[in-house]
Amino acid sequence: MSILSGKNILLGITGGIAAYKTPSLVRLFVKAGAHVRVVMTDSAKEFVTPLSLSTVSKNPVYSSFTSEGEENGLWNNHVDLGLWADIMLIAPATANTLSKMAHGVSDNFLLATYLSAKCPVFFAPAMDLDMYRHSSTRNTFDILRAFGNIMIPATHGELASGLVGEGRMAEPEDIFSFVEAELYKKLPLRGKRFLVTAGPTYEAIDPVRFIGNHSSGKMGIAIANSAASLGAEVVLVLGPSTETEFHPQVIVERVVSAKQMYEAAHVHYPDVDVAILAAAVADYRPTSVADQKIKKATSALHIELEPTQDILASLGTLKKQQFLVGFALETENEKDNAIGKLKRKNLDAIVLNSLNDQGAGFGKSTNKITFIDKEQVSIDFPLKTKVEVAQDIINEIISRIHA
């Protein structure tokens, strides 16, 4: 999954020969899962058609303040378009357009949209060698960078004039990689290492039977995916689960029993910055496991159980630099029980959910949580999808580890 997945990208195209490459650029963004809208100047239409761009972007192409071909043309709202964008990219960016951007000129729809944008703005210059080297152009670059705009440097190569030198627009693949890399550098969890546990554990009775629970692992997996999408390196220790949607940056280590999860968590724990134990670990296991399938009998079957190792408590005793988060699934005296668990197990925070809340609990796609930190500051969240809940949990962690 690309960091650009789900992002709203506004591509501005100006009148340079390199505009013919922009359909390929749009395809790269769309393939990465981004939503792309295109704004182009009238002169850009001499090099690439709006039809081509609307086809590959699957969206209308904008070039004027009113819809073309309408007797009573509808207004295209450049302010809404600028606010819609998570990223604005102007490629190719001619010397003329860049100069106008630097000096606040707003004589076409693209420039008006640029001045309305609140998002990061990238620009990929494309012009001839002498224009690229001219002092006024260099000054324009400096002004735009001072505004916080991000320049994608032109490359060395053959130019439209026949000259060979600097000024050629970066290739679509290189522009795509540049934008991805810049966004990655700004991710709040870049360089952080996470350990997440998820899913149930199965404690064997015999070769075919086990003690388990109804946990699907969805909540923990959503947390791992959310942390990875914000730049973290994530190890997910996952009990038996049928879930298969993992962020590419999540390393999945599958286990079955509580003992295996305990061992895996302890292997990775010393090297992580944050550990989030969302797994529903069995509290008990059979004291002995039958070698063969236990045959059904008319008399009652008695299975002696012993406690499993407490993974969360053991990590709490080993805690050094780690930010340790546990989960509490309660049915009564919910907040008091959760705070008690937080204190006993030396946690930095605990995520409380109650089986009494409709829409929360095992196997569902939604959850309702209260986030409680070690200062006993608690934040109640409404019922949300587990993906949204995961984002809330990660945001609360970020606010504390970056404080």
Q: Which two tokens stand for residue 106?
A: 């707003």
User: 398 by DSSP, 3-state: which?
Assistant: helix
Annotated binding site for CTP: 283, 293, 327, 341, 345
CA gap 394, 234 in Å, rounded: 13
Question: What stretch of H or E contains 62?
Answer: strand 61-62
- Which alpha helices (DSSP H) does 32-188 contain, by range? 50-57, 78-84, 95-102, 109-116, 129-133, 135-146, 172-185
Look up tokens 């995916």; give the residue: 225
Q: Which two tokens stand for residue 344?
A: 């006993």
State the Cα torsion 202-203-205-206 to the nearest 10°: 60
Question: What stretch of H or E contains 89?
Answer: strand 87-93
CA gap 253, 238 in Å, rounded: 6
Annotated binding site: 283, 293, 327, 341, 345
CA gap 220, 208 in Å, rounded: 27
Residue 227 contacts residue 196 (beta carbons within 8 Å) = yes
Residue 196 contacts residue 182 (beta carbons within 8 Å) = no
Number of Cβ atoms within 10 Å of the Cβ of 334: 18
Residue 97 contacts residue 111 (beta carbons within 8 Å) = yes
CA gap 136, 392 in Å, rounded: 47
Q: Does residue 59 have an active-site annotation?
A: no
Active-site choice (8, 59, 96, 213):
213
Residues forming the active site:
213
